[in-house]
Amino acid sequence: MRRVIDWVRVHQALRTLDQLAIGDSAVVHRVDCAPRVGCRLMEMGLLPGTRIELVRRAPFGDPLEIRLRGYLLSLRRSEASGVALRPEAHAQEGEDGAGGDAAGASDGGSSAAGPARFPPHPRREEPSGARVPRVLVAGNPNAGKTTIFNALTGARARVGNYPGVTVARASRRIALPDGSPAELVDLPGAYSLSTHSPDEQVAVDEILGRRGDPPDAVVVVVDAGAIERGLYLALQVVETGVPAVVALNMVDEAAAAGMAIDAERLSTWLGAPVVPTVAPAGTGLDALRAAIGDTIGLAPRSDAARDGLPATVEGAVADVERALANTRLARTPAARRSWAVWSLLSHESDEDDVEGLDRPVRDAVDAVRQRAGEAGVDLYEALIAGRYRWIEAVVADVREGAETAQRTWTDRIDGILTHRVYGMAAFAAVMALLFEALFTWSEPFIGAIESAAGWLQGGVAAALPEGALADLMVDGVIAGVGNVVVFVPQIAMLSFFIAVLEDAGYLARVAFVIDRLMGRIGLHGKAFVPMLSGFACAIPGIMATRTIEGRRDRLITMLTLPMISCSARLPVFALVTAVEFAGDARVFGLFSAGAV
């Protein structure tokens, strides 16, 4: 009877995340969002049993920013309304660690005998020969992945704070300590190997070897300050059996927060070398280069890792593994199991972005999900929670020092830039400065180009006799090229400002501030960056939409971008306006008297 009373009391105290007050904390009870959204939130660590704190709300009340597992996460109110909470006083009543009920009885895996350690990789029996080894660099957005890539290769790939900056495959050759070459490939940032956007699909295809041979090694960059979130991706890579190196980046910031990570102990858990690094200062890069050289000589691990999943979930994974047995994806038992789990977390329908799964595999995934739903089992939660239980046990063993939420100077700046009044004022000031620069500061450069084109036209006209050739050179070639080059100052200035704002991390704050305003017109907050790029040229703006996760949001943004007046269109609009409309007096400097 007492258990029934306690159950009623706890469930009466439940509320959703969107109802939480700023500064209050609670414990996640259940994540009941749309499948793809719920899967992403849980892979970010928002699992039943996780303690969270509401840090701030955007000026328009949407989205919200919460603190969990040592980092900040933003989500919309519509998503937050699907996250049920319970007070911290009831945290141990019904839930214990990641996954809550999903952490139930298992089939004798890691939960029964403690979390399992991955064994070291064996040495390769045969050298790679003349083939240049291929090494991938993967990691969460803003974990310092591209900075490490640039430091190792000397390349100047774009480095920024807005997720998805690396939107294309970038590769460079490096020399290893023994003098042998290796090809280093910088992958787009990804929080997991589950596919939620085209950028993440690129990372999945490269790591799991969907389009060709698997890589010789993978360098996984992990933010030491958000180690649990970073280890989720690292664990997925290790499970594939591909030799891996973990670059534990930003250890200086973790130390400033009072945390220390035992890299040697973490290495014994992962069966892979762990190298502490501080990418901007170059700390640990020589050791990382040496670890890459050693790891290339290791053979892939063929045995499949067991996560200690409940028996029903393990059976579901086994069913999908059997469907994959005769496909090109099942190179080894480890690869087959990784593909099976990936299919369960990523496949949704025949119309989604997932490519490369054969029809029998899709049918097996659909049948497994249907049986799980009838049995009341949440496969998303069970699979993700199984990994996070392993990660929590490992982090408890390798991390020293309390995980405290210290208010840093960046938090204070965030408080201003996302404030209801100061944040909007800062946004208006930055946008005013940007467009003032585009149309006023660029005028001297535009005038210089026009003067140079006119001077060149005069010189050619004086040198050539009148006729078709002179007209072609003066009015065709020089005038045509001049009319194109005259837009370069505005495009270059806009690109410069975007790069500065991106490196400073301001664009991510703007997306947070105006997400609800963009949502009123059917756009995602992340659409702000492609639309801003569209004022220079619509083509790179459309390419930048690949960082937006939702297919519908990407499509709407791509269809909207051509309607933005880029620098090349403004002179055309001015010319058509001058030809078609009379030069009447202006009203308020904008409307003609006839229009009013």
Q: Which CATH number do you get for residue 78? A: 2.30.30.90
92 in any annotated domain? yes
pLDDT of residue 588: 58
Q: How far apart are CA 528 and CA 30, in angstroms?
A: 32
pLDDT of residue 565: 77
DSSP 403: -
pLDDT of residue 220: 95
Q: How far apart are CA 431 and CA 412, in angstroms?
A: 22
Tell whether 499 and 540 lie within a shared domain: yes
Tell whether 165 and 92 lie within a shared domain: no
Q: For 464-503, how does the pLDDT look when each residue is reduced to its tens digit (9 = 90+)?
A: 888 888 888 888 888 888 877 887 887 788 778 877 877 7
287 or 13, greater pLDDT: 287
Question: Residue 164 pLDDT > 50, yes or no?
Answer: no
pLDDT of residue 222: 94
589 in any annotated domain? no
Tell whether 272 and 335 lie within a shared domain: no
Highest mean pLDDT, choosing among 125-134, 213-222, 395-404, 585-594: 213-222
Question: Residue 143 pLDDT > 60, yes or no?
Answer: yes
Tell whether 159 and 93 lie within a shared domain: no
Lowest model confidence (mean pLDDT) among 94-103, 134-143, 170-179:
94-103
Tell whether 140 and 96 lie within a shared domain: no
pLDDT of residue 394: 93
283 in any annotated domain? yes
Which amino acid makes up residue 360? P
503 or 454, greater pLDDT: 454
360 in any annotated domain? yes
Report pTM: 0.79
Q: Which residues contact 4 (CB under 8 A, 6 or more apart)?
A: none
pLDDT of residue 395: 93
The domain that holds 286 is classified in CATH as 3.40.50.300
Q: How far apart are CA 140 and CA 120, in angstroms?
A: 24
DSSP 314: H
Question: Residue 140 pLDDT > 60, yes or no?
Answer: yes
Q: How far apart are CA 291 and CA 272, in angstroms?
A: 9
161 or 527, greater pLDDT: 527
Q: How far apart are CA 583 and CA 581, in angstroms?
A: 7
Q: What is the CA radius of gyration of the chain?
A: 28
30 in any annotated domain? yes
Tell whether 368 and 444 lie within a shared domain: no
pLDDT of residue 57: 87
CA distances from 338 to 53, 112, 389 (A): 33, 22, 18
Lowest model confidence (mean pLDDT) among 273-282, 413-422, 454-463:
413-422
Q: How far apart are CA 61 and CA 52, in angstroms?
A: 18
329 or 277, greater pLDDT: 277
190 in any annotated domain? yes
pLDDT of residue 105: 38
Question: Residue 266 pLDDT > 80, yes or no?
Answer: yes
Lowest model confidence (mean pLDDT) among 254-263, 275-284, 391-400, 429-438:
429-438
Highest mean pLDDT, choosing among 42-46, 103-107, 169-173, 509-513: 42-46
Here the tokens at position 381 are 């939660």
Question: Residue 594 pLDDT > 60, yes or no?
Answer: no
415 in any annotated domain? no
Q: For 197-246, how does the pLDDT look when each residue is reduced to its tens digit (9 = 90+)?
A: 666 777 888 888 777 788 999 999 999 988 999 999 999 999 988 999 99
501 in any annotated domain? yes
Question: How confident is the model over 436-440, as a mean pLDDT?
Answer: 78
Tell whether 237 and 369 lie within a shared domain: no
**Is the torsion defined by CA of 94, 96, 101, 107 positive or negative?**
negative
Distance of CA 170 to the CA centre of its chain: 16
Q: Among 105, 121, 156, identify where a domain stops.
A: 105
pLDDT band at 162 (very low <50, low <70, confident <90, very high): very low
Furthest-apart CA atoms within the chain: distance in Å? 107
Tell whether 352 and 461 lie within a shared domain: no
DSSP 26-40: EEEEEE-S-HHHHHH
Tell whether 245 and 198 lie within a shared domain: yes
Q: Is the peptide bond before 63 cis (omega within 30 degrees of 0)?
A: yes
Lowest model confidence (mean pLDDT) among 227-231, 561-565, 580-584:
580-584
Question: How confident is the model over 568-591, as a mean pLDDT?
Answer: 67
Question: Residue 161 pLDDT > 60, yes or no?
Answer: no
Q: Which domain holds residue 514?
A: 422-569
Tell whether 270 and 138 lie within a shared domain: yes
Q: 131-143 burial, b if ≥16 CB within 10 A, otherwise e?
A: eebbbbbbbbbbb
Here the tokens at position 109 are 């895996």
pLDDT of residue 28: 93
* Selection from 522, 517, 509, 528 nearest residue 553 by Cα: 522
Residues 6, 92: contact at Cβ < 8 Å?
A: no
103 or 330, greater pLDDT: 330
Question: How confident is the model over 90-112, as a mean pLDDT?
Answer: 46
Lowest model confidence (mean pLDDT) among 39-48, 51-60, 481-490:
481-490
What is the percent of the chain with per-residue pLDDT over 90, rounded to a whole number? 17
Residues 13, 90: contact at Cβ < 8 Å?
A: yes
Number of independent structural domains in the chain: 4
Residues 220, 295: contact at Cβ < 8 Å?
A: no
pLDDT of residue 213: 80
Tell whether 270 and 323 lie within a shared domain: no
Q: Among 89, 105, 121, identify where a domain stops.
A: 105
| Three-class DSSP category at 382 | helix
Tell whether 150 and 277 lie within a shared domain: yes
